[in-house]
Amino acid sequence: MEYRDYYQILDVGRDATQDEMKKSYRKLARKYHPDVSKEADADSKFQELGEAYEVLRDPEKRAAYDQFGSNWQNGQDFEPPPNWDAGFEFSGAGYTGGAEGRGHSDFFEELFGRRQYGGASAAGFQDIHLKGEDQHAKIVIPLKDAFEGSKQVITLSKATIDHQGSVTTRPHTLHVTIPKGIVEGQRIRLKGQGMPGMGNAPSGDLFLEICFAENPFFHAEKRDIYLRLPVTPWEAALGATVTVPTLGGKVQLKIPAGSQGGRKLRLKGRGLCTAKNSGDQYVELRVVVPEASTDEQKKLYKEMAELMPVDPRAGMVF
Amino acid sequence: MSNTVTWLSGTVLDEETNCGLTELCKLCGINAETVQDMVSEGVITPREAAPQSYQFTYIEIRRVQTAVRLQRDLRINLPGCALALDLLEELDELRGRRKR
């Protein structure tokens, strides 16, 4: 079991007052709140923080925690000495509330008890019926899977409640069908796949948010797919039919004569489509200028300059 | 142990689907009064404005759920939640635009 340095987590000294801890907690809670923070480990940081504050703001728990001394490092291997909790009120009372819906570290559970719903005895527990909490998770899928629809296997940690009312978490594998034409940021609600309910009450729901994996060529904006397509100056000037990749395979695209770099051409219905909605693919032309390395090639560019004089900066008035 | 795998299909929460007041309350675990407060503070905007025929798109579920968490965890009041949600959405859009 790893030692948790709650003072370090809460970013306060060991002699911090209630007021100092509250201030620090509020500040860090805003920083790491999963709905607000973009830090990759915001979820676990926020959970840690809640746990630290839960212990330190409670004078009983803080006193019990403090007796381990200040020589421990966060993450260090730790076993509490036998009978360490003698004389403290909370011992045997089980889970003490707060930080709803969030798990605790092994360290916390060893010291302050496992989570018990309502601290209920086996007999009392049967009379309590409470809907399980909703769970939220993100899933990263390739663009192609969103385009075609796919089947994904995901593993989440899921809590189970035994008949005593105590909670254990273990990995839980889910097989989920992702419908064709899902859009980034959209969520799928899986009814009854959240936390288990108490008594006869139903489980909560699982909300899966869709994220797209980075793709070297395509990117999605809502239902539309964007692709930058390199073309030669003569393809752009004279027009051409070129082969373009789409998420559904290669297609032929006609580049109109007289196109400039930056021109966007639309491939209708080649974006993320559902039965009701359709998206397009936009192809943005990027003109690639051939290098002039031989004398002959240089001569050709000079001839072009004479034949087709153009001032691309004519419109820049400043 | 059997080898058959059950593939779960969920509901996509998109702007196409609407839900009424009762369903929204049930999905988010809140009461009608809270929904009413959220509407008047601009946390959520119903498609149908008259309370007896409230219709919300499924997109609003996320705003309700986030507002509930912000209220609980950061003690932000409803007007503050509405502001935070609007700013978060704008931030998301800007981040997405910068990636391109």
Residues 205-264, chain A, touching B (beta carbon < 8 A):
205-208, 219, 221, 226
Residue B4 lies in a domain: no
Give the 3-state secondary structure percentages of chain B, helix then strand then coil, rounded to 5: 55, 10, 30
Mean pLDDT score, B60-69 = 93
CATH 1.10.3720.10 correct for A6-115: no
CATH code of the domain covering residue B89: 1.10.1660.10
Specify the CATH superfamily of domain A135-212. Answer: Urease metallochaperone UreE, N-terminal domain (2.60.260.20)
Token pair of A162 as six digits: 């035994």
Residue B10 lies in a domain: no
**How far is Cα of residue B46 from the mean position of the Cα atoms in its chain?**
11
A188 and B CB contact within 8 Å: yes
Residue with tokens 């309502």: A118
Q: Do A248 and A147 meet the contact criterion of CB atoms below 8 Å apart?
A: yes
- If one counts the domains in chain B, the total is 1
Q: Do B13 and B61 meet the contact criterion of CB atoms below 8 Å apart?
A: yes
Residue B2 lies in a domain: no
pLDDT means over runs of 10, chain A (318 residues): 86 89 91 85 87 88 80 70 60 40 69 55 57 86 92 80 66 89 92 83 89 92 94 94 94 94 94 91 95 94 92 86
Residue of B nearest to A23 (CA): B74
The whole domain housing B46 covers 18-95
Mean pLDDT score, B69-89 = 93
Closest-CA distance of chain B to residue A190, Å: 5
d(C-alpha B86, C-alpha B76), whole Å = 14
- Which residues of B have a CB under 8 Å from any CB of A? 5-14, 16, 27, 29, 61-62, 65-66, 69-70, 72-75, 84, 88, 92, 95-96, 99-100
Pairing of strands B8-9, A281-287: unpaired
Q: pLDDT averaged over chain B? A: 88
Query: Confidence band (pLDDT; 50, 70, 90) for B2?
Result: low
Mean pLDDT score, B37-64 = 88
A135-212 and A218-307 have identical folds: yes
Phi, psi of B76 (to 5 degrees): -90, 135
Residue with tokens 């969520």: A187
Q: Do A106 and A113 meet the contact criterion of CB atoms below 8 Å apart?
A: no
CATH 2.40.50.140 correct for A218-307: no
- Note the pLDDT of residue A77: 73
Closest-CA distance of chain B to residue A42, Å: 14
For CA atoms A64, A70, A71, A77, the dihedral sign is: positive
Chain B residues with CB inside 8 Å of A177's CB? 7-9
Domain locations in chain A?
A: 6-115, 135-212, 218-307
